[in-house]
Chain A
Amino acid sequence: MIRWLLLCLGGALLGGIVHLATVIILPRTATQDAYSRLTPIAPVNTVVALPAPTPEKAIMPFMDPAFASAVCRYDLSDGPLKLTVPVSSAYTSVSFYTRYDVAYYAINDRAAGRRVIELDLMTAAQHEQVPEDEEVTAADRLIVESPSLTGLIAIRAMAPEPGLMPVAQGAVAASRCSRETEPARSRK
């Protein structure tokens, strides 16, 4: 009897470890996470507008139907990325996610304070290679450091009422994310 109780106790302790391990491993093995859902429709380093969610079909659960949204699935292994998002009339935001859908940075139109949200996305190593004088001359250039080589940028513009949806869709559709045309280090 005592032997079975001890075995139960040992099994339960081991179960705790199994539980923690599965929780930690799960994001790396998930095949239906947001990044995997977007991979088939979003080519690398291109802005793709997402269809509005409907009761029958939505790319991801819990999408806000009051927003027009687009994503840029990025890969920084060839160098930094430049992102420009024209601000729509109501509310526009740009959120950055790692490959495992963790949000690490977000900016909205008011924080950007301009008609166009412009920023450079790079890894910490690429940021170190940006010449200092360049950083000074481009003091108004916003640099975002990505903790991972790949990830997602979600561009979202709000339509406060349904009639404004075309304006919001136009703003996200006019967004660009692409490799920088002149690499920063060539000028040094």
Chain B
Amino acid sequence: MRLLTGTLFALAVATLVGLGMTYFALSRGAAFGALTIESWSAWPKSGTNDADPYARASIARTGRLPIALGDGVSFTLKADDNGKALDGRCNVAISGITPAARYWTLTLYNADGALIANTVNRYGFTSEEVVRRADGNFEIIVAPRANPGNWLPTGGADRYQLLLRLYDTAVGVSTKAGREVPMPQVSTRSCP
């Protein structure tokens, strides 16, 4: 009897610990080889044959097709430069320049990776669409209500994420954070 309860207890602990760790690892998107530049993170290796088991599991669970490294690199932003989570009720400014790439797109998604409905049917900007200043810098205002300039509507959702995808770029597995990869600054301006 003692042996039986002991074995059952150990197995229960194993199931709880094992599945719990898997759940947390995948819901947090843990994968090795993250390239983090300021608040932006990319996993260039996830777009190659060398993708680690965590990246593979996360790709299978979310149902997305990762961007292949020969195609481009995708940077995810979930918080501003002060570490505050992106809030769709606030005005958030994305300003500066991007690393060298033939094209880039900046797209707004909810936590599940779906687009967020808004009155003007704008879900993002491409490098060709964005209005720049004379020095080449741009500023995109991510906000719930219309703003002058490059306005990206949040639809009032409280949590969202931004994906900056660089297409045909030299940024890749061997890239280190530094001067060659300048990422736009992210600051929360005003909150209700």
Residues in A lying within 8 Å of B, measured CB to CB: 3-4, 7-8, 10-24, 26-27, 30, 32-34, 36-37, 53-56, 58, 60-62, 64-66, 90-91, 93, 95-97, 100-108, 110-111, 147, 152, 154, 156, 158, 160-161
Contacts and interface: CB of A to CB of B under 8 A. Distances in A.
In the A-B complex, the 10 residue pairs with the closest CB atoms:
A18-B18, A11-B13, A15-B17, A61-B113, A106-B70, A106-B68, A14-B14, A160-B128, A103-B68, A55-B117
Given A22-B19, A62-B113, A108-B168, A11 B105 contact: no
27 contacts: A7-B10, A14-B14, A16-B17, A24-B57, A26-B56, A26-B61, A27-B56, A33-B60, A53-B114, A58-B114, A58-B115, A60-B65, A62-B113, A65-B123, A66-B107, A66-B126, A91-B102, A91-B103, A93-B68, A101-B59, A101-B65, A101-B66, A102-B51, A102-B59, A106-B70, A108-B70, A161-B129
A66 to B, nearest CB: 5
A11 B115 contact: no
A158 B103 contact: yes
B62 A61 contact: yes
B11 A11 contact: yes
Interface of B: 6, 9-22, 25-26, 47-49, 51, 53-54, 56-57, 59-72, 74, 102-103, 105, 107, 109, 112-117, 123-124, 126-129, 163, 165, 167-168
Contacts of B103: 90-91, 158, 160
A27 B13 CA distance: 24
Given A160-B127, A160-B128, A104 B18 contact: no
